[in-house]
A and B are shown apart, each in its own frame.
Chain A
Amino acid sequence: MLTESQIERYSRHIILKEVGGKGQQKLLDGKVLIIGAGGLGAPVALYLAAAGVGTIGIADADDVDLSNLQRQVIHFTADIGKPKVDSAREKIEAINPDVKVITYKEWVTAANIAGIIADYDFVIDGTDNFAAKFLINDACVLAGKPYSHGGILQFIGQTITVLPGLSPCYRCLFPQPPPKDAIPTCSQAGVIGVLPGVIGSIQATEAIKFLLGKGRLLAGRILMYDALEMRFRDVEIKRNANCPICGEHPYITELKDELDAMTVCDLKES
C-alpha cells in the first residue's frame, strides 16, 4: 500500500498506464543487484533509487579515486578514498529513503557470486573486466537469473539483456574471454565520461521494465551505441547451439574464475 508521500513522489510513474500504483508497488518490492559501482553502476544506482526500486545491492571492493569522478557520477570529490559502496549508499539513501541498500565490499568471485546474486530479481553487470563479465554471465545463467550486460570503451558502448534459457547469453556471442591484455581497457584507451551514462541508463531501464513486466526487453538483440557518430544499432542474435554454458551440450557446469582474463580497468599504483 503506497503512502501519500509515495503517491506524490512517484506520481509521474503512477500516471503511466504501464506503471500505475500496482507497477510502482512492484518496483518497491523489486530487488536489483548492481555489480560494480563505477561508470555504469553509478547511473544505474541513481536511477533505480529515484524510481523506488525497494532493494538495491551494490558489490564493489574499490575505493573512490580522483580519476573516477569524470564519469562515475554517484561519487563526489569529498568521497575520494572512501569505499565506493559506502559512497553509493549515501547518495541512494539521500535520494530516496524508501530504498534498502545492501553493500558487498568485495570483488565477485566463483566462490561468492552465487550467494550474492541469489536474493535478487535482476542483476546489472557494471564491471570493467572480462573475468567479472564472464563470471556474472555464468553465475546468472546457472542460477536462471536475468541480467543486463554492459560494455564501454572510448566512444562506443554495447548492452544486451540475458534471460537465461530463453535468450542468448554473453557466451553465445563470445564463447571464451579474450586473452589477458588483448583488448584495451578504459584506463589504457580512455572513455568519454557521458558514455557510461547512456549505457547505464539503458541497463536501468531494462531492470525497471523487467520488474514491471512491461515492454520488450533487449533480449535476443545486442544494442550498440557510437557516441562519435551518434548512432544506435541493434543486431538480432540467436542462441548459439554450441554455447559452452547454455548450448545443447554445455561443458561449463560450475563456476570458475577466468584468471587468464583478469584485468582491472582503473590504473592502480601496484
Chain B
Amino acid sequence: MNISINGKETILAENSARTVDSLLEELDVSQRLYVTVELNGEILDRPAYETAPVKEGDVIEFLYFMGGGC
C-alpha cells in the first residue's frame, strides 16, 4: 500500500485494519501522544485517530509541537 507521509512516498504492508492510531504506533512516530495528524488536508480530532482508516493513496502529515524560540 502506497501513502504519502510528510511529503515522502511510503510503502506499507497491506493491512485493511490500519487506523491513524495504529499507523502512529507502527511507524513509532515521535511525540506520538501529542502529534497532530492531517489526513488528506483535514486536521483530525484526536478521538478520530482510533477510527480513521488509512487507505491507499492517503496523504498524511504529522505536525509536531515546537516550543522553542529562545
| A interface residues, Cβ below 8 angstroms from B | 36, 38-41, 68, 72, 125-130, 133, 150-153, 156-158, 172-175, 178, 182-183, 185-187, 191, 196, 222, 233, 235-238, 240, 242, 263, 265-266
Whether B41 and A236, one on each chain, are in contact in the complex, defined by CB atoms closer than 8 angstroms, is yes
- Interface assignment of B36: CB less than 8 Å from any CB of chain A: yes
The one of B31, B34, B43, B69 in contact with A172, judged by C-beta atoms closer than 8 angstroms, is B43
A240 touches B43 (CB 8 A): yes
CA distance A152 to B64 in the complex (A): 11
| Size bracket of the B interface | 20 to 34
- Contact, CB under 8 Å: A182 / B68: no
Please, what's the 1-or-0 string for B30-66, where 1 marks a CB less than 8 Å from any CB in chain A?
Answer: 0101101010011101100000000000000101111
Closest A-chain residue to B45, C-beta based? A242
Q: Using known A-B contacts A172-B43, A222-B63, A237-B43, determine if residue A182 contacts B33 with beta carbons closer than 8 Å.
A: yes
Contact A238 B41 (CB under 8 A): yes
Residue from the set B31, B36, B41, B42 with the largest chain A CB neighbour count within 10 Å? B36
**Measured CA separation A38–B66 after assembly (Å):** 16
Q: Are B7 and A38 in contact (CB under 8 A)?
A: no
A263–B33 alpha-carbon span in the complex (Å) = 19
- Which B residues are CB-close (under 8 A) to A263? 67
Q: Is B17 an interface residue (CB 8 A)?
A: no
B27 on the interface (CB 8 Å rule)? Answer: no
Which applies to chain B's interface (DSSP): helix, strand, loop or mixed? Answer: loop
14 contacts between A and B (CB under 8 A): A39-B69, A125-B69, A128-B68, A153-B68, A157-B66, A158-B64, A178-B34, A182-B33, A182-B34, A233-B6, A235-B38, A238-B42, A242-B45, A263-B67
CA of A129 to CA of B36 in the docked complex: distance in angstroms?
Answer: 18
Q: Which chain B positions have C-beta within 8 A of A266? A: 70
**Which of A125, A222, A265 is the one whose CB lies under 8 Å from B70?**
A265
Give chain A residues whose Cβ lies under 8 Å from the Cβ of B45: 175, 242
Hey, which chain A residues are within 8 Å of B38, CB to CB? 235, 237
Could you tell me if B69 and A196 are in contact, using CB atoms closer than 8 angstroms?
Answer: yes
Nearest A-chain residue to B62, judged by Cβ? A235
Distance in Å: Cβ of A215 to nearest Cβ of chain B: 23
Kindly identify which residue among A41, A151, A240 contacts B67, using a CB–CB cutoff of 8 Å. A151
> How far apart are the CA atoms of A130 and B64 in the complex, in Å?
13
| A156 CB contacts on chain B under 8 angstroms | 66
